[in-house]
Structure 1
Amino acid sequence: MDAQEVTGDWAGRRVCVAGAGLSGRAAARVLAERGAHVTLVDGRDDDALREQVAELEKNGVTVRLGDGGTLPEGTGLVVISPGWRPDAPLARAAAAAGVEIYGEVELAWRLRGPGAAPWLALTGTNGKTTAVRMLTCMLTAAGYDAVAAGNVGTPIVETVLEGHDVLAVELSSYQLHWSSTVVPHAATVLNVAPDHLDWHGSLDAYAEAKGRIFAPGTVAVANADDPVSVSLAGPDAKGFTLGTPAPGQVGVVEDLLVDRAFTEDPRTTAAELAELSDVRPFAPHNVANALAAAALARAFGVPPEAVREGLRAFKPDPHRIAHVANIGGVDYVDDSKATNPHAAASSLAACKSAVWIAGGLLKGADVDDLVRSCAGRLRGVVLLGADRARIAESLARHAPDVPVVDVADTDTGAMDRIVTAAADLARPGDTVLLAPAGASFDMFTSYGARGDAFAAAVRRLSESR
């Protein structure tokens, strides 16, 4: 960290902000307000983007659209948006020129002033947004001015300047890759399973990025049920578990969430935090999210009663194990947010018998373990999307007796045919579960749009039967 960063003196620095998305525009705006000479670059160039950056140009930011690969002359620092890969041409050019590169999260950390709000941070393959929102509710219930930031909500480079008491920070592997000096008060890795391997190059590199959340001085909290999380957190970490907690852990005893990590004497005392019925929607992986959030809250001194109040106040985001309808004794559930095999496995584990709607973009992930683990729960499978053939091949190996319907259509009416096919396979007591195990961009603008299409198709099915 150079002297300018230590003193917060950004005036006159020549900074290239790579990426004109939400976080990139926020970084450019904040740096320009501090007197930096900012050039915002992006390989895209369209009317909508021009409209979004127009205000920045009025405030002195140089905007260069249609060329995201050339390093502006005189650049002394690159602030790179999270989706930009390390092998992007501009990143390679900056590295070759000896120009430091970091992301918006790292910039936000370095912009913090004296007495800045501490960060309670979490990452993981799945459950990040749910856990960070649960954590925010717990902090608020304890009387803190708290807000969720990072990979959710307002760009963190703006949030750190707003004077909150504490930040609940969700961090993606991309954001952590481009961070180096962030030191949360407490942090956890919820879980690690193959995802974004096309970006990171390997599972080891992906896990290494996640592990950056555990900085020296941070209270590390491991998922005791996830070997990679345990390995990343180190031997002195606290833990959370779906089992009975040992001293130093938060866990489950009968129908209670219990703390044996942050009490006065964890060897002999425990604190009751909440009941399992306080966790909504109820599913094993969501209980793990609640335990992780509770551990971070307790590490910050939140009392047990605020943990319970926070869980009760929490409202789940859409498309996360959302019950859409019951038609003829069959439940229809939207878990479109299950965009990788690990998330889909957790969702299927909550069903006794499921007609699984699966497919999309697998992002380099393998589905064999997923199919092998859930084969006994499958009444049938309906496949959609670009990588459906890979799931079909795995089903043929590990669940050859399960009926499979392949829907190749990608038009606007495809989801109706998918839902109808699932309904034809289902029997009373089954769950028709949209848990695709893949990203949505081959057919939809987002996982939300995919979930909305599913819910709309279910409603139309209900009206017709």
Structure 2
Amino acid sequence: MDRIEELETALTIECATADHIQVDDARRLTGPGLLWDHPGAVMDVFFTDIDPTQVIALWEKHARCVLDALGWQDQALTHRTFTGGVNLAISAPMDQLYSAIFAAQTAWHFCAAELLEATPGDFDQMIRDVKGVMAKEANPALISLIAAAEAHGVDILCDDDEISIGHGTGSQIWPVNALPAPDNVDWPSLHNISVAFITGTNGKTTTTRLLEAIARASGKVAGLTSTEFVRVGDDILDRGDYSGPGGGRMLLRDKRLEIGCLEVARGGILRRGLPTRAAMAATVTNVANDHLGQYGVNTVPELAQAKFAVHRTLTKGGVLALNADDPFVRAEAENTAANIWWFSLDPGNDLIRRARDAGTCCAYVSQGNIVFFDGRSEQAVIAVSDVPLTMGGVAKYNILNALAAMCLALALKLPLEAVRQGLAGFKPDAKDNPGRCNEFRYNGAQVFVDFAHNPHSISAVCDALSALPAKRRFIMLSHAGDRSDQDIRDVTATALNFQPDVVVAAELEGYLRGRSMGEIPDLIEKSALEQGYNKTQIQRAASPSEAAAMILKQVEPGDLALLLVLSERDAVLEMLDQ
């Protein structure tokens, strides 16, 4: 058994239970997140027929007793209420995060006992047990390094295996069990680099890629994390969903890196937190209904709270670039004191007008140009029509992504000419922006491949493509099984705004997630029929690649096809490349 497994399984803390109370496994918080910017542990408690204030009062009493008994008088506790439950958290030293889980569970043990009138365990013995884990987990060398890094004004990144100080070209890595004394660290060689966080419901991958393209155009070695891979320059370090803190550490530890563009998704923020507190810029592209119902994030405003965790990563003077056209972003912005640069499609947007009047940087579209206001004067940076990603201006969601990327780039002190070059040179193809409205010509028809999968993103793509002329329109639809029936009906109705002549409903065998084969295509077909389509317009396919092949056999010159591809994307792209 390795050290981490030994720590994870060191204690089993039983708690009083009841049908109306459910408790998720406690988890470590390693960086800034939804609740706060401290490391520690959090547990999610769900209940019915209980007053949340009663649970919170018990937590504040028992968690404080546990922290004090463990010698963690300097550590804090917090909570967050949501419909049907609470998040309960404690902070802890960075070398005691597994122990923090047991400390949180111990505190909940006494909360549950009092709540359910059960007999609690022996407090002193339970504290001794947790202290035993603390002794095994303790790493005084790490605590010394963290203090020294803070004193030298340089970032430190920690995980179970390695510790690194600085970023990219200014970084050095050590095994967690072989850390140097602070006096033996070559501090002058270590430094932070320019880092930006990109989050939002939609557009975050494209914005991340755009920012990286701008950074490359400036002559810097740039890298990115995303839901698809981690890349430095042209070198892909690994493929997979790296939108969490692990991907961020992998990127920021690469010694070639000069600028880091980090896509961060809701899951990583909520599970572990963000990987650094040393970002110069961050953006929230938008917030819409997607992946609700986890970790106590049940509503779109609560999702906005989670996305806005990126503001906790900003250094002094760091910039938070925000979409002034998004109502949920606007509302949540009221709760942050960050240095905000607003961007909008409308120069008359009230927040843009206020920013200009206050002499604050902002960005917008005016007279067909992407414009940046630097606090004193405005400059037309590039014509919208010269940004290929905007499809001549019809893809308004990509104009917003371009505005966000420009704000981030300028906040990172990249030159305006690099912004122009990056935006002008970035193509909506499978090389620069794979899976995002990639355009192909096939048998004289226009064929677009997009990864859009929620109502917000599908609506944006369909609105853009609806502006293009076509003799006939084809659409391929599929959905993951973990969405509700209503979600699938809503997404289907949204997609039908594209006004397709032919709908092909594809099975997603690898994404059934508890549903049976045929169930999702049935829902798509039923939704289309309810929207006024007839059965002759609806076709079925056993897979996305089969659906794509069916459409490609039917298209003729002047037709337009939209393939919403959730899986088998490489196979579909290969068909089109041929």
Measured against the shorter chain, the TM-score band is 0.5 to 0.7
**CA displacement at 1:192 relative to structure 2:** 1.6
* Cα distance in structure 2, aligned partners of 1:323 and 1:311: 18
The structure-2 alpha-carbon separation of the partners of 1:228 and 1:363, relative to structure 1 and needing over 3 Å to count, comes to: farther
* Structure 2 residue aligned with 1:239: 342
List per-residue Cα deviations over 1:364-399 (Å, max 9, x = no partner): 262455445554431231111253333334333344
Picking from 559, 569, 575, the partner of 1:430 is 559
* Structure 1 residue aligned with 2:569: 451
Which aligned pairs between 1:293-308 and structure 2 lie closer than 5 A? 293-308=405-420
Which aligned pairs between 1:38-437 and structure 2 lie closer than 5 A? 38-39=3-4, 71-73=8-10, 78=28, 95-96=104-105, 107=158, 111-113=164-166, 115-149=191-225, 151=227, 152-153=229-230, 154=237, 155-163=247-255, 164-177=257-270, 178-179=272-273, 182-197=277-292, 199-200=294-295, 202-204=298-300, 205-215=302-312, 217=316, 218-234=318-334, 237-244=340-347, 246=352, 247=356, 248-260=361-373, 263-265=374-376, 269-281=377-389, 282=391, 283-315=395-427, 316-327=432-443, 329-335=444-450, 337-352=451-466, 354-361=473-480, 363-364=482-483, 366-378=487-499, 379-385=501-507, 387-400=520-533, 404-407=537-540, 409-410=542-543, 415-416=545-546, 419-420=549-550, 424=554, 428-436=557-565
TM-score normalised over the length of structure 1:
0.67
The structure-2 alpha-carbon separation of the partners of 1:451 and 1:419, relative to structure 1 and needing over 3 Å to count, comes to: same
Tell me the amino acid that sits aligned with residue 189 of structure 1: V
Secondary structure of 1:434's counterpart equals: strand
Contact 2:370 2:403 in 1 (8 A): yes
Contact 2:548 2:563 in 1 (8 A): no
* Cα distance in structure 1, aligned partners of 2:101 and 2:549: 46
**CA displacement at 1:272 relative to structure 2:** 2.1
* Cα distance in structure 2, aligned partners of 1:318 and 1:150: 12
CA RMSD of aligned residues (A): 4.0
Tell me the amino acid that sits aligned with residue 558 of structure 2: G
Tell me the amino acid that sits aligned with residue 396 of structure 2: P
Secondary structure of 2:483's counterpart equals: coil
Contact 2:489 2:523 in 1 (8 A): no
Secondary structure of 1:339's counterpart equals: coil
* Cα distance in structure 2, aligned partners of 1:140 and 1:74: 49
The structure-2 alpha-carbon separation of the partners of 1:264 and 1:192, relative to structure 1 and needing over 3 Å to count, comes to: closer
Tell me the amino acid that sits aligned with residue 96 of structure 1: Q
Tell me the amino acid that sits aligned with residue 202 of structure 1: N
* Cα distance in structure 2, aligned partners of 1:455 and 1:359: 17
**CA displacement at 1:162 relative to structure 2:** 3.5
List per-residue Cα deviations over 1:185-207 (Å, max 9, x = no partner): 21111112222235455234433
**CA displacement at 1:228 relative to structure 2:** 1.5
The structure-2 alpha-carbon separation of the partners of 1:80 and 1:398, relative to structure 1 and needing over 3 Å to count, comes to: farther
- The runs of at least 4 consecutive aligned structure 1 residues that moved more than 6 Å come to 79-82, 85-88, 90-94
Contact 1:356 1:434 in 2 (8 A): yes
The structure-2 alpha-carbon separation of the partners of 1:456 and 1:298, relative to structure 1 and needing over 3 Å to count, comes to: closer
Tell me the amino acid that sits aligned with residue 213 of structure 1: V
Tell me the amino acid that sits aligned with residue 507 of structure 2: G
TM-score normalised over the length of structure 2:
0.55
* Cα distance in structure 2, aligned partners of 1:452 and 1:150: 17
**CA displacement at 1:357 relative to structure 2:** 0.5
Number of residue pairs aligned between Structure 1 and Structure 2? 368
The structure-2 alpha-carbon separation of the partners of 1:134 and 1:371, relative to structure 1 and needing over 3 Å to count, comes to: same
List per-residue Cα deviations over 1:15-38 (Å, max 9, x = no partner): x9xxxxxxxxxxxxxxxxxxxx85
* Cα distance in structure 1, aligned partners of 2:293 and 2:553: 34
* Cα distance in structure 2, aligned partners of 1:289 and 1:132: 9
Contact 1:124 1:191 in 2 (8 A): yes
Tell me the amino acid that sits aligned with residue 237 of structure 1: I
Tell me the amino acid that sits aligned with residue 447 of structure 2: Y
Unaligned runs of 5+ in 1: 1-15, 17-36, 42-61, 63-69, 441-446, 461-465
**CA displacement at 1:435 relative to structure 2:** 1.6
The structure-2 alpha-carbon separation of the partners of 1:390 and 1:417, relative to structure 1 and needing over 3 Å to count, comes to: closer
Paired-residue identity, %:
25
Tell me the amino acid that sits aligned with residue 420 of structure 1: M
* Cα distance in structure 1, aligned partners of 2:329 and 2:216: 27
* Cα distance in structure 1, aligned partners of 2:265 and 2:280: 18
Secondary structure of 2:267's counterpart equals: helix
Contact 1:118 1:166 in 2 (8 A): yes
Unaligned runs of 5+ in 2: 13-26, 34-41, 46-97, 108-129, 135-155, 167-189, 231-236, 238-246, 509-519
* Cα distance in structure 1, aligned partners of 2:575 and 2:218: 41
The structure-2 alpha-carbon separation of the partners of 1:286 and 1:172, relative to structure 1 and needing over 3 Å to count, comes to: same
Secondary structure of 2:388's counterpart equals: coil
The structure-2 alpha-carbon separation of the partners of 1:145 and 1:433, relative to structure 1 and needing over 3 Å to count, comes to: same
Tell me the amino acid that sits aligned with residue 176 of structure 1: I
* Cα distance in structure 1, aligned partners of 2:8 and 2:426: 44
- Give 1 or 2 for the bigger CA radius of gyration: 2
* Cα distance in structure 1, aligned partners of 2:44 and 2:105: 12
Secondary structure of 1:342's counterpart equals: helix
The structure-2 alpha-carbon separation of the partners of 1:179 and 1:279, relative to structure 1 and needing over 3 Å to count, comes to: same
**CA displacement at 1:308 relative to structure 2:** 0.6
Secondary structure of 2:311's counterpart equals: coil
* Cα distance in structure 2, aligned partners of 1:324 and 1:87: 46
* Cα distance in structure 2, aligned partners of 1:254 and 1:363: 44
Contact 2:476 2:563 in 1 (8 A): yes
The structure-2 alpha-carbon separation of the partners of 1:162 and 1:422, relative to structure 1 and needing over 3 Å to count, comes to: closer
Secondary structure of 1:73's counterpart equals: coil
Tell me the amino acid that sits aligned with residue 407 of structure 1: R
* Cα distance in structure 1, aligned partners of 2:421 and 2:214: 7
Contact 2:196 2:282 in 1 (8 A): yes
